[in-house]
């Protein structure tokens, strides 16, 4: 897969901007005090679906409508945010969305996808099983399969990277959570398109470490499970194209524990009063872990989403000390 150049990212921005304005980038003093760095947060939790994924969905569906095969419906597998993006963007482009989620998926994300017009199908014990079921349904029903990692999605997610780097061009490092990889690949694309020297640091959950293992091995490495509360990062089979881009363009991959993710969720609330889901807080968890390395430097954090069930968030807020 070729990464988009500046012209392609700006074209994608036009598509995204028809639906949403740029999300803010804020420097939060309490986060600076907590980490010892100058911390800038890119608030992708402030999109119309509460997560960065909408950008990729809008670009994907616009391209499908204009240049793809004639279809009436699309299907995708998700733990939530990708499904919300696909459902919203599909409806805007006159397409019928079907979304497959695993058993025990977030009730509130499920409700949001249905409110956005999706037919919800529940199948499998994790994302990978839901994905395999969705692929089978695509063939059986004649639906267009929307992968969770694809070139149009990277074009779309690169728009937030472009916004971030233009707002704060002298970042020493940007920390980006990794699910299937569209977010970090978009940030790498925007960094390269602008010719910046900023380090892009990927973040994985210790319990869903396939991209960290793939980075270390120099090739795709799958895991047998992805048991993390950060459902946006719960991937056990990496996308080979994403692995190639990340291994070439990222400085390193940091893994964070469940306790570190939850502590970062609490820190976001106490220091900024923003709600961060597990994946959304992972970048902050990684920066805290690298506090000594980043002391006195300028760090960017991607708060990729804020969609978390109420009872889960209450449990996290009530645990531990920050």
In a domain, residue 168? The reply is yes
- Of 145, 161, 184, which closes a domain? 145
Encode pLDDT of 114-144 as tens digits.
999 999 999 999 989 999 999 999 999 999 9
pTM: 0.95
In a domain, residue 1? The reply is no
Sheet holding 96-101: strands in order across? 119-122, 96-101, 73-77, 144-145
In 3D space, the residue among 37, 13, 40 whose CA is nearest the CA of residue 163 turns out to be: 13
How many percent of the chain have pLDDT more than 70?
100
What is the residue whose two structure tokens read 């391209």?
63
If asked whether residues 74 and 190 sit together in one domain, one would say no
Encode pLDDT of 69-117 as tens digits.
888 899 999 988 999 999 999 999 999 999 999 999 999 999 999 999 9
Helix (H), strand (E) counts: the chain: 14, 10
Give Cβ neighbours of residue 262 (< 8 Å, ≥ 6 apart).
229, 278, 281, 316, 319, 320
3-class secondary structure, 3: coil
Rg from Cα positions in the chain? 18
Residue 95, token pair as written in the block: 């397409």
Residue 80: its pLDDT value, please? Answer: 85
CATH number, domain of 133, equals 3.40.50.1100
Distance CA(322)–CA(316), nearest Å, equals 11
Contact status, residue 95 vs residue 73, Cβ threshold 8 Å: yes
67 pLDDT band (50/70/90 cuts)? confident
Distance CA(81)–CA(39), nearest Å, equals 25
- Of 145, 161, 194, which closes a domain? 145
Domain count, the chain: 2
- H/E run at residue 99: strand 96-101
Distance CA(183)–CA(283), nearest Å, equals 12
Residue 302, token pair as written in the block: 């991607």
Residue 319: its pLDDT value, please? Answer: 86
């Amino acid at each position: 897969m070729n990464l988009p150049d500046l012209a392609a990212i700006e074209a994608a921005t036009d598509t995204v901007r028809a639906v949403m304005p740029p999300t803010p980038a804020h420097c939060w003093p309490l986060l600076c005090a907590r980490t010892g760095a100058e911390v800038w947060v890119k608030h992708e939790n402030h999109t119309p679906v509460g997560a960065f994924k909408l950008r990729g969905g809008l670009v994907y569906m616009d391209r499908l409508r204009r240049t793809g095969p004639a279809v009436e419906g699309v299907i995708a597998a998700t733990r939530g945010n990708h499904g919300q993006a696909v459902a919203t963007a599909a409806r805007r482009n006159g397409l019928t969305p079907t979304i497959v989620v695993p058993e025990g998926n977030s009730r509130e994300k499920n409700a949001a996808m249905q409110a956005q017009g999706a037919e919800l199908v529940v199948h499998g014990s994790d994302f990978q099983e839901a994905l395999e079921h969705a692929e089978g349904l695509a063939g059986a029903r004649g639906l267009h399969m929307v992968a969770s990692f694809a070139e149009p999605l990277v074009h779309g997610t690169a728009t937030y990277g472009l916004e971030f780097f233009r707002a704060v061009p002298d970042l020493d490092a940007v920390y980006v959570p990794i699910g299937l990889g569209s977010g970090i690949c978009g940030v790498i694309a925007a960094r390269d398109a602008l010719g910046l020297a900023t380090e892009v640091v990927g973040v994985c959950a210790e319990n869903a470490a396939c991209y960290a293992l793939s980075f270390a091995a120099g090739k795709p490495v799958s895991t047998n499970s992805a048991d993390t509360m950060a459902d946006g990062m719960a991937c056990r089979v990496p996308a080979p194209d994403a692995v190639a881009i990340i291994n070439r363009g990222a400085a390193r991959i940091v893994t964070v524990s469940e306790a570190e993710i939850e502590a970062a969720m609490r820190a976001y609330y106490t220091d900024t009063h923003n709600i961060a889901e597990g994946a959304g807080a992972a970048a902050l968890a990684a920066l805290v872990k690298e506090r000594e390395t980043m002391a006195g430097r300028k760090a960017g954090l991607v708060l990729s989403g804020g969609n978390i069930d109420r009872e889960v968030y209450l449990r996290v807020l009530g645990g531990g000390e920050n």
